[in-house]
Amino acid sequence: MSGRDRILGRVRRALADVPADDPAYEAAVDRGYAREHGGRSMAETVELLAENLADYRAIVHRCTAAEVPDLLMRLYARRGSETVLVPPGLPPHWLAATDPVRIQDRAASTPDELDRVDSVITGCALAIAETGTIVLDGSPDQGRRRITLVPDHHICVVRVPDQVVASVPLALERLAPARPLTWISGPSATSDIELDRVEGVHGPRTLEVVLMSGE
Protein backbone atom coordinates (compact mmCIF):
# COMPACT_ATOMS: atom_id res chain seq x y z
CA MET A 1 0.00 0.00 0.00
CA SER A 2 1.35 3.39 -0.98
CA GLY A 3 1.54 6.44 1.28
CA ARG A 4 -1.17 8.04 -0.84
CA ASP A 5 -3.51 5.09 -0.29
CA ARG A 6 -2.92 5.18 3.48
CA ILE A 7 -3.70 8.91 3.67
CA LEU A 8 -6.86 8.60 1.58
CA GLY A 9 -7.93 5.65 3.71
CA ARG A 10 -7.62 7.73 6.87
CA VAL A 11 -9.64 10.52 5.26
CA ARG A 12 -12.40 8.07 4.33
CA ARG A 13 -12.50 6.66 7.87
CA ALA A 14 -12.63 10.15 9.36
CA LEU A 15 -15.58 11.03 7.11
CA ALA A 16 -17.46 7.74 7.63
CA ASP A 17 -19.96 9.26 10.08
CA VAL A 18 -20.63 12.44 8.07
CA PRO A 19 -24.18 12.45 6.65
CA ALA A 20 -24.42 12.44 2.88
CA ASP A 21 -26.52 15.60 2.96
CA ASP A 22 -24.10 17.49 5.24
CA PRO A 23 -23.66 21.12 4.02
CA ALA A 24 -20.63 21.84 1.89
CA TYR A 25 -17.75 23.64 3.58
CA GLU A 26 -18.43 26.84 1.63
CA ALA A 27 -22.02 26.90 2.91
CA ALA A 28 -21.29 25.73 6.46
CA VAL A 29 -18.67 28.38 7.32
CA ASP A 30 -20.00 31.81 8.26
CA ARG A 31 -18.55 34.46 5.92
CA GLY A 32 -20.21 37.41 7.63
CA TYR A 33 -16.97 39.20 8.56
CA ALA A 34 -16.35 42.84 7.74
CA ARG A 35 -15.25 43.36 4.16
CA GLU A 36 -13.75 46.80 4.85
CA HIS A 37 -13.40 49.14 7.79
CA GLY A 38 -15.54 52.26 7.77
CA GLY A 39 -17.57 53.84 5.00
CA ARG A 40 -15.03 55.90 3.08
CA SER A 41 -15.69 57.60 -0.22
CA MET A 42 -13.39 56.78 -3.13
CA ALA A 43 -11.50 60.05 -2.60
CA GLU A 44 -10.95 59.13 1.07
CA THR A 45 -9.86 55.62 0.04
CA VAL A 46 -7.25 57.04 -2.33
CA GLU A 47 -6.01 59.36 0.44
CA LEU A 48 -5.68 56.38 2.79
CA LEU A 49 -3.75 54.48 0.12
CA ALA A 50 -1.33 57.39 -0.30
CA GLU A 51 -0.85 57.68 3.48
CA ASN A 52 -0.15 53.97 3.95
CA LEU A 53 2.19 53.80 0.96
CA ALA A 54 4.19 56.68 2.43
CA ASP A 55 4.13 55.03 5.85
CA TYR A 56 5.83 52.03 4.25
CA ARG A 57 8.51 54.39 2.86
CA ALA A 58 7.28 54.31 -0.72
CA ILE A 59 7.54 57.63 -2.57
CA VAL A 60 4.10 58.72 -3.76
CA HIS A 61 3.40 60.98 -6.75
CA ARG A 62 0.08 62.17 -8.15
CA CYS A 63 -0.66 63.23 -11.71
CA THR A 64 -3.13 63.00 -14.55
CA ALA A 65 -2.72 60.62 -17.48
CA ALA A 66 -1.48 63.48 -19.67
CA GLU A 67 1.21 64.34 -17.12
CA VAL A 68 2.67 60.84 -16.79
CA PRO A 69 5.36 61.14 -19.53
CA ASP A 70 6.83 64.33 -18.08
CA LEU A 71 6.65 63.03 -14.52
CA LEU A 72 8.48 59.83 -15.43
CA MET A 73 11.16 61.81 -17.27
CA ARG A 74 11.73 63.89 -14.13
CA LEU A 75 11.89 60.81 -11.90
CA TYR A 76 14.49 59.11 -14.11
CA ALA A 77 16.53 62.31 -14.39
CA ARG A 78 16.45 62.82 -10.62
CA ARG A 79 17.76 59.29 -10.07
CA GLY A 80 20.25 59.44 -12.94
CA SER A 81 18.81 56.34 -14.61
CA GLU A 82 20.38 55.52 -17.97
CA THR A 83 18.43 52.29 -18.58
CA VAL A 84 14.81 51.38 -17.83
CA LEU A 85 13.28 47.90 -18.03
CA VAL A 86 9.93 47.97 -19.83
CA PRO A 87 7.23 45.22 -19.84
CA PRO A 88 5.83 44.41 -23.30
CA GLY A 89 2.34 45.73 -22.60
CA LEU A 90 3.27 49.05 -21.01
CA PRO A 91 1.33 51.93 -22.66
CA PRO A 92 3.87 53.47 -25.09
CA HIS A 93 2.82 57.06 -24.36
CA TRP A 94 3.95 56.70 -20.73
CA LEU A 95 7.54 56.78 -21.97
CA ALA A 96 7.07 59.33 -24.74
CA ALA A 97 9.30 61.89 -22.99
CA THR A 98 11.74 59.46 -21.36
CA ASP A 99 15.47 59.64 -22.07
CA PRO A 100 16.85 56.33 -20.66
CA VAL A 101 17.62 53.39 -22.95
CA ARG A 102 14.69 50.97 -22.88
CA ILE A 103 15.46 47.34 -21.99
CA GLN A 104 12.85 44.79 -23.00
CA ASP A 105 11.53 42.13 -20.62
CA ARG A 106 13.07 38.93 -22.04
CA ALA A 107 12.88 35.36 -20.75
CA ALA A 108 16.59 34.95 -21.54
CA SER A 109 17.69 37.84 -19.26
CA THR A 110 20.03 36.67 -16.50
CA PRO A 111 19.93 37.95 -12.89
CA ASP A 112 23.22 39.74 -13.56
CA GLU A 113 21.72 41.55 -16.57
CA LEU A 114 18.66 42.56 -14.55
CA ASP A 115 20.87 43.78 -11.72
CA ARG A 116 22.58 46.22 -14.10
CA VAL A 117 19.25 47.86 -15.03
CA ASP A 118 18.86 51.24 -13.35
CA SER A 119 15.05 51.31 -13.11
CA VAL A 120 11.93 49.32 -13.97
CA ILE A 121 8.47 50.70 -14.66
CA THR A 122 5.24 48.70 -14.46
CA GLY A 123 1.53 49.03 -14.11
CA CYS A 124 -0.27 47.00 -11.45
CA ALA A 125 -3.30 44.77 -10.96
CA LEU A 126 -4.63 46.53 -7.85
CA ALA A 127 -3.68 48.78 -4.95
CA ILE A 128 -5.14 48.15 -1.48
CA ALA A 129 -5.75 51.24 0.61
CA GLU A 130 -6.06 49.73 4.10
CA THR A 131 -2.71 47.94 3.86
CA GLY A 132 -0.82 50.23 1.47
CA THR A 133 -0.20 47.24 -0.79
CA ILE A 134 0.47 47.09 -4.54
CA VAL A 135 -0.49 43.82 -6.23
CA LEU A 136 1.12 42.64 -9.48
CA ASP A 137 -0.26 39.67 -11.44
CA GLY A 138 2.13 39.32 -14.37
CA SER A 139 -0.16 41.03 -16.90
CA PRO A 140 1.48 42.51 -20.02
CA ASP A 141 1.91 45.95 -18.43
CA GLN A 142 3.72 44.34 -15.47
CA GLY A 143 5.92 41.68 -17.03
CA ARG A 144 7.64 38.79 -15.33
CA ARG A 145 7.81 38.76 -11.54
CA ARG A 146 11.60 38.85 -11.46
CA ILE A 147 11.87 42.21 -13.20
CA THR A 148 10.39 43.85 -10.09
CA LEU A 149 12.59 41.87 -7.68
CA VAL A 150 16.11 42.36 -9.05
CA PRO A 151 16.44 46.02 -10.21
CA ASP A 152 17.01 48.49 -7.39
CA HIS A 153 14.40 51.08 -8.44
CA HIS A 154 10.77 50.33 -9.25
CA ILE A 155 8.20 52.85 -10.49
CA CYS A 156 4.64 51.52 -10.39
CA VAL A 157 1.72 53.36 -11.98
CA VAL A 158 -1.72 52.90 -10.35
CA ARG A 159 -4.82 53.93 -12.31
CA VAL A 160 -7.08 55.95 -9.99
CA PRO A 161 -9.81 55.10 -9.16
CA ASP A 162 -10.18 51.94 -11.29
CA GLN A 163 -7.35 49.99 -9.63
CA VAL A 164 -7.85 51.15 -6.04
CA VAL A 165 -9.79 49.01 -3.55
CA ALA A 166 -10.34 49.59 0.15
CA SER A 167 -9.46 46.19 1.62
CA VAL A 168 -7.89 42.79 1.09
CA PRO A 169 -11.28 40.95 0.85
CA LEU A 170 -12.36 43.33 -1.92
CA ALA A 171 -9.04 42.81 -3.69
CA LEU A 172 -9.29 39.03 -3.57
CA GLU A 173 -12.63 39.15 -5.38
CA ARG A 174 -10.96 40.89 -8.33
CA LEU A 175 -7.71 38.90 -8.50
CA ALA A 176 -7.29 35.64 -10.41
CA PRO A 177 -5.76 33.08 -7.98
CA ALA A 178 -4.11 31.16 -10.82
CA ARG A 179 -1.96 34.16 -11.80
CA PRO A 180 1.52 34.80 -10.30
CA LEU A 181 0.54 37.35 -7.67
CA THR A 182 3.18 39.58 -6.08
CA TRP A 183 2.10 41.66 -3.07
CA ILE A 184 4.28 44.70 -2.36
CA SER A 185 4.01 46.84 0.77
CA GLY A 186 6.78 49.40 0.44
CA PRO A 187 10.41 48.84 -0.61
CA SER A 188 12.01 45.49 0.15
CA ALA A 189 13.32 45.44 3.71
CA THR A 190 14.36 43.08 6.49
CA SER A 191 15.72 43.35 10.03
CA ASP A 192 18.15 41.27 12.05
CA ILE A 193 17.66 40.24 15.68
CA GLU A 194 18.75 43.70 16.80
CA LEU A 195 16.13 45.30 14.52
CA ASP A 196 18.69 46.94 12.25
CA ARG A 197 16.69 47.62 9.08
CA VAL A 198 18.28 46.76 5.74
CA GLU A 199 16.51 47.71 2.51
CA GLY A 200 16.87 46.20 -0.95
CA VAL A 201 17.53 42.61 0.10
CA HIS A 202 14.60 40.82 -1.53
CA GLY A 203 13.57 43.44 -4.07
CA PRO A 204 13.98 47.10 -5.00
CA ARG A 205 15.48 49.46 -2.44
CA THR A 206 13.35 52.33 -3.79
CA LEU A 207 9.65 52.06 -4.68
CA GLU A 208 7.92 55.03 -6.31
CA VAL A 209 4.16 54.88 -6.83
CA VAL A 210 2.41 57.13 -9.33
CA LEU A 211 -1.29 57.61 -8.61
CA MET A 212 -2.57 58.46 -12.08
CA SER A 213 -6.05 59.87 -12.55
CA GLY A 214 -8.04 60.76 -15.63
CA GLU A 215 -7.36 57.87 -18.01
Mean pLDDT calculated for residue range 27-37: 78
Closest listed residue to residue 160, CA positions, set 46, 68, 67: 46
Enumerate the domain spans of the chain: 38-213
Q: Output the pLDDT for position 96.
A: 87
How much is the pLDDT for 52?
96
Single pTM value for the model: 0.82
How far apart, in whole angstroms, are the C-alpha atoms of residue 213 and residue 203? Answer: 27
CB 86 within 8 A of CB 101: no
**Mean predicted confidence (pLDDT) in 182-195:** 78
C-alpha–C-alpha distance, residues 84 and 37, integer Å: 38
Q: Architecture of domain 38-213 in CATH?
A: 3-Layer(aba) Sandwich (3.40)
Confidence of residue 201 (pLDDT cuts 50, 70, 90): low
Distance between CA 30 and CA 120 in Å, rounded?
43
Measured CA to CA in angstroms, residue 131 lies from 10, 35, 45, 154 at distances of: 41, 13, 11, 19
Average pLDDT over residues 175-181: 94
Beta bridge partners of 164: 127
Tell me the per-residue pLDDT of 83-127, one tens digit each, with 9 for 90 and over. 999 999 999 999 988 778 999 998 899 989 999 999 999 999 999
Nearest to 204 by CA among 126, 131, 143, 147: 147
What integer pLDDT is reported at residue 190 of this predicted model?
73
The DSSP letter of residue 45 is H
